[in-house]
């Protein structure tokens, strides 16, 4: 089963991609299941459910900001965002979020673990089902080496699952990273069991041009620092594409997850 598990739609502040277009593109890319994980809301996933059919399954989800980092919650509904108290205008209370997601038998995964406060609060891992082993936006550029080094210290935790996701904010990014497993019934228990057993994360070698282009497109207002950073990323992305074509580099790299790895 080919799954894309970290996608942002027009219900996120930093994306303007319609849900219907995400579903159509996901089908074209051959995804069997996807999860639209908008920032602090499951509205995108709720809309996506109406497009679920024999070709593609929808795992309802969202990406919640908390005091310890961003948490991907799967198999949830909109009641989570309505019933979970916020610490401020942007962050939900981590512990209440965990409590409410557990009531729905949902799955909890920390997104891009290096980019948060996990390093100073490792105890929060005890409340989660897993982490993102690879995030195409974070792990393909500035923080690639540091993030990979940190994530490796979190591997081989008993009962943990390790996902790969594109963190897509544009249609082009949907192909940047996905997780492949054996076929399973799309429900929480089976989702966790199959990922604990064995999975493979596929991530593209040339992604920075598409990411920088999406960041420029979604940027609101004049932000010199962000524009400079994305300009550097776009230039790097062009060089990356040219180099990979000249060297005939394979399109995807893989990370194998399982009891024997």
Question: Structural domain tally of the chain?
Answer: 2
Q: What is the pLDDT of residue 120?
A: 93
Residues 186 and 236 in one domain: no
Q: What residues contact 56, with CB distance under 8 A and at least 6 apart?
A: 23, 26, 27, 31, 32, 33, 34
Residues 242 and 124 in one domain: no
Residues 213 and 183 in one domain: no
Helices (H), the chain: 19-28, 43-48, 79-83, 94-103, 144-152, 188-197, 208-218, 224-246
Which residues make beta-bridge pairs with 132? 163
Residues 235 and 181 in one domain: no
Q: What is the pLDDT of residue 89?
A: 85
Q: Distance between CA atoms of 220 and 227, rounded to whole angstroms?
A: 11
- Quote the domain boundaries for residue 199: 2-205+253-258
Residues 129 and 231 in one domain: no
Residues 97 and 167 in one domain: yes
User: Each residue's pLDDT tens digit in the chain (261 positions)?
Assistant: 999 999 999 999 999 999 999 999 999 999 999 999 999 999 999 999 999 899 999 999 999 999 999 999 999 999 999 999 999 988 999 999 999 999 999 999 999 999 989 999 999 999 999 999 999 999 999 889 999 999 999 999 999 999 999 999 999 999 999 999 999 999 999 999 999 999 999 999 999 999 999 999 998 888 898 899 999 999 999 999 999 999 999 999 999 998 554
Residues 32 and 154 in one domain: yes
Sheet holding 57-58, edge to edge: 57-58, 33-36, 2-7, 177-180, 198-204, 252-258
Which residues make beta-bridge pairs with 31? none
Residues 167 and 246 in one domain: no
pTM listed for this prediction: 0.95
Residues 155 and 99 in one domain: yes
Residues 160 and 219 in one domain: no
Residues 218 and 118 in one domain: no
How many Cβ atoms are within 10 Å of 230's Cβ, its own excluded?
Answer: 20
Q: What is the pLDDT of residue 213?
A: 96
Q: What is the pLDDT of residue 259?
A: 57
């Amino acid at each position: 089963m080919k799954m894309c598990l970290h996608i942002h739609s027009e219900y996120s502040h930093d994306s303007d991609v319609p849900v219907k277009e995400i579903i159509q593109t996901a089908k074209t890319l051959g995804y069997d299941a996807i999860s639209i994980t908008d920032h602090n809301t499951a509205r995108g996933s709720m809309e996506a459910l109406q497009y679920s059919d024999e070709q593609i399954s929808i795992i309802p989800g969202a990406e919640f900001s908390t005091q310890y980092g961003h948490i991907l919650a799967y198999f949830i509904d909109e009641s989570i965002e309505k019933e979970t108290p916020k610490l401020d205008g942007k962050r939900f209370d981590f512990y209440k979020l965990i409590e409410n997601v557990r009531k729905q038998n949902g799955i909890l995964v920390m997104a891009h673990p290096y980019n948060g406060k996990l390093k100073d609060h490792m105890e929060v891992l005890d409340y989660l089902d897993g982490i993102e082993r690879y995030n195409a936006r974070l792990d393909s550029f500035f923080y690639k080496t540091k993030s990979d080094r940190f994530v490796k210290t979190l591997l081989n935790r008993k009962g943990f699952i390790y996902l790969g996701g594109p963190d897509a904010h544009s249609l082009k990014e949907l192909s940047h990273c996905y997780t492949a497993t054996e076929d399973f019934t799309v429900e929480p228990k089976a989702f966790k069991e199959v990922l604990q057993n064995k999975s493979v994360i596929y991530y593209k070698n040339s992604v920075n041009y598409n990411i920088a282009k999406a960041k420029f497109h979604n940027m609101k207002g004049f932000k010199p620092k962000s524009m400079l950073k994305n300009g550097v990323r776009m230039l790097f992305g062009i060089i990356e594409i040219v180099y990979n074509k000249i060297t005939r580099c394979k399109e995807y790299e893989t990370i194998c997850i399982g009891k024997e790895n």
